[in-house]
Amino acid sequence: MVDFLQILKEHNIKRTKYRMAILELLIKEEYRFISIDEIQDRVSSDFSTAYRALELFEENEMIYKTKINEKMYYSYRCSNKEYHHHLICTECGLKVSLDFCPFEDLEKKCETLGFGSFHHSRDLFGICKKCKNES
């Protein structure tokens, strides 16, 4: 819980009304990715303010950012900093962290395929059980 306050202090980031509101929201909804619209709606900031705060948080590795259906979504990161992959539900934004790398095998084959290196896109997408059952 002191986690992110420390980062703010270390980087001399002012604790303003909207930044705090956005961080609180992201922490509360840490188990999923949320859209800029939901963020703007729930904290009632200007869109540009929200975008600027989120950009700042991402630069300082406090949040994740990913694209779902052509729009950016955001999720709290502080509590789990080791590199890992996510399974993300494209219906509800649910975030499931993987404790293994799905690309290990591909990595090995990379060389023989004419590829120098391979982007482990951190985020993989699907439909979670809940959303699948509801549809």
The DSSP line for 23-85 is HHHHHHTTTB-EEHHHHHHHHT--HHHHHHHHHHHHHTTSEEEEEETTEEEEEE-TT--S---
* Site for a second copy, rule CB under 8 A: 87, 89-90, 94, 96, 98, 102-103, 105-106, 110, 113-119, 121, 124-133
Minimum Å distance from CB 15 to DNA? 4
18 binds DNA (CB under 7 A): yes
**Residue 65: partners with Cβ closer than 8 Å, 6 or more residues away:** 54, 58, 72, 73, 74
110 binds DNA (CB under 7 A): no
55 binds DNA (CB under 7 A): yes
Binding site for DNA (CB under 7 A): 12-19, 36, 45-49, 51-53, 55, 67, 70-72
